[in-house]
Amino acid sequence: MENNVFVPHSEVEKQLETAKKVRALIGEGKKAYISTFGCQQNEADSERLMGLACLMGYEKTDVMEEASLIIFNTCAIREHAELKALSKAGALRKLKERDKNIVTALCGCMAEQPHRRAQVFKSYPYIDIVFGTDRVHTLPQMVYDRLAGGKTHAVYVSDLRHDEFGVIAEGLPVVRESGYKAWVSIMYGCNNFCTYCVVPYVRGRERSRKSEDILAEIEGLVKAGYKDITLLGQNVNSYKGDLSFPELLRKAASFEGEYWVRFMTSHPKDASRELVDVMAACPNVAPQFHLPMQSGNNRVLDLMNRRYTVEQYMEKAAYIRKMIPDASITSDIICGYPTETEEEFADTVKAVRAVGFDALFTFVYSPRPGTPAAEMEQLPHDVKTARFAALCDAENEKAEELNRRFIGRTLRVLSDGKAEGNFVGRTGHNKIITFTLPEGVDESVAAAGKFVDVKVTEAKAYTLHGNLLK
Ligand code: SAH
Ligand code: SF4
Ligand code: F3S
């Protein structure tokens, strides 16, 4: 089975050849636009789609109206994410009326859901191609078929079924959004089936890239000057190459040069002491741990199929704090899971205060068709949103208190350059920091992609401010 996970090299080669055929068909000066919704996995997929688009002869654009190839890479995690994509996709109609030769595609997690696909077929006749999360590498063939074969309207292409493995295609070109921050997918899919979550259905089973491919990619990025590299997987702890995830992380962080390695996401049931030990021992691993708690109540965690208790979560957080006292720990919480009581929600607020999260991503529970939690009795919308608001208030207070620990300290900052008159960057803890330059210092020292030292003078809940040290 394991071998079937990898797309044969010959198939990838065939796609790259087809890309050249598209290039010959479309002529000069055509542009490609990709709109990305959802998580970093999707952003990473979009960078590969753009890599293929450029190989096909399209030039990257951020203006949809001037593009001849338009791709919507969608997310299905909550209804809100789906509605955003669908409403934006409506704008394609006008563009298509103006020029019927534009190639339009909708892909990503939403495209894997049969009911959404049916909706696209019916209500969006101006979308030419719909393809699933495992068909990224076949973009050249799909675009070629559309252009040469005249196929139009919702040609659906996907192999993914939730009881099957998906695929891994190595050797695709990538056009990255940033010249100094990079996503590196180390694995795809998810086997956890948390009862609220659509990801296992739309991304297929877990499969891991080979460590040699991952490490070669990272080495290339470091050599090319990338400074902030995030290893991606729905649950990086279940990485299954010839190395364990902590071993992979150690190697990823040991190339020559100054850079940070981060990772996400780490499932609390699998986050090991060994992983924390590697983080503590490797200076290149950023002191940031995203450890989604989801709920602070054991009955709710059990219903969610998270397979850890609040006590076990606390123990892991305490071990992180013991080994890396200054680490920033961040989390995700879902408010209003079916049957969650006021008392159970109060447990979550208590747990959030007790751990002290540097940042909290708070979500209103959104029923996902086909998942077990969607079949349960649902809480009223206003109950869910009131809990959401209460949790945000609790976190804002805590985040500001935690940020004050940085006042007076000098932090290494990766600059994002100047925006609206202010220099801005990120710390290793992944905090946003604005900073000023001392008089007479040339602005180029703090150009985007450069590491600088900043002395922190102010702290708010979600931003720091400081002065660059000469
Ligand atoms: N693999 C990651 C999560 C990826 S999804 C993990 O296990 O931590 C990102 C976050 O979206 C989740 O952590 C969860 O908090 C939230 N989420 C997932 N499904 C949701 C749903 N149906 N409604 C609301 N939030 C949801
Ligand atoms: Fe969804 Fe759970 Fe998998 Fe995360 S671990 S992607 S929340 S099923
Ligand atoms: Fe959304 Fe798919 Fe990511 S559902 S959160 S884009 S894995």
Q: What is the pLDDT of residues 82-127, one digit of tens each?
A: 999 999 999 999 999 999 999 999 999 999 998 998 899 899 999 9
The pLDDT of residue 196 is: 98
Q: Across-strand partners of 285?
A: 261
C-beta of 232 in contact with ligand 3 (< 6 A): no
- The pLDDT of residue 161 is 52
* Nearest atom, ligand 1, residue 364 CA: 24
pLDDT of residue 34: 98
Instruction: Flag whether the pTM goes above 0.75.
Output: yes
User: What pLDDT is recorded for position 159?
Assistant: 60
Residues of the chain with CATH 3.30.750.200: 315-405
Is the CB of residue 193 below 6 angstroms from any atom belonging to ligand 2?
yes
Atom of ligand 2 nearest to the CA of 267: 5
Ligand 1: centre distance to CA 78 (Å): 9
Stretch(es) of the chain classified as CATH 3.40.50.12160? 2-156
The pair phi, psi for residue 6, each rounded to 5°, is -90, 130
Q: Which fold has domain 407-468?
A: OB fold (Dihydrolipoamide Acetyltransferase, E2P) (2.40.50)
With vertex at residue 323, the alpha carbon angle to CA 401 and CA 227, rounded to the nearest 5 degrees, is 80
Note the CATH number of domain 315-405: 3.30.750.200
With a 6 A CB cut-off, is 203 part of the ligand 3 pocket? yes
- What is the predicted pLDDT for the residue at 47? 98
Q: Which residue of 109, 196, 235 sits with most ligand 2 atoms within 8 Å of its CB, as the best mutation to test the pocket?
A: 235
Residue nearest to atom 1 of ligand 2 (CA): 197
Q: Which atom of ligand 2 is nearest to the CA of 294?
A: 7
Q: What is the DSSP letter of 326?
A: T
> Ligand 1 atom 3: the closest Cα is on which residue?
234
Return the best residue to mutate from 77, 194, 230 for the ligand 1 pocket (most ligand atoms within 8 A of CB).
Answer: 77
Within the chain, all domains assigned CATH 2.40.50.110 are found at: 407-468
Cα of 305 vs centre of ligand 1, distance in Å, is 13
Helix axes 273-281, 310-323, angle to 10 degrees: 20
Could you tell me which CATH number the domain at 2-156 has?
Answer: 3.40.50.12160
Q: Which atom of ligand 2 is nearest to the CA of 265?
A: 4
- Atom of ligand 2 at shortest range from CA of 200: 8
CB-based burial label for 226 (10 Å; 0-12, 13-18, 19+): buried
Structure-token pair, residue 237: 């702890």
The protein residue with its alpha carbon nearest to ligand 2, atom 5, reads 192
Considering only CA atoms, which residue is closest to atom 1 of ligand 3?
A: 75
Low-confidence residues of the chain: pLDDT under 50: 1-3, 162-163
Mutating to test ligand 3, I would choose from 34, 36, 37, 39 the residue with most ligand atoms within 8 A of its C-beta, which is 39
Q: Is the CB of 77 under 6 A from ligand 3?
A: yes
Who contacts 403 (Cβ-Cβ below 8 Å, separation ≥6)?
Answer: 358, 431, 459, 460, 461, 462, 464
Q: Which residues of 391-413 are buried (b: 16+ CB within 10 A; e: fewer)?
A: beebbeebbeebbeebeeeebeb
Give yes or no for a cis peptide into 265 (omega within 30° of 0). Answer: yes
Nearest alpha carbon to residue 464 among 421, 414, 404: 404
Measured in whole angstroms, how far is the alpha carbon of residue 167 from the centre of its chain? 19
- What tokens appear for 201 in the block? 């259905």
- Phi/psi of residue 398, each to 5°? -65, -40
- Please give the class, per CATH, of domain 178-286: alpha beta
Pocket (CB within 6 angstroms of ligand 1): 77-78, 196-197, 234-235, 265, 267, 292, 294, 332, 334, 363, 365-366, 368
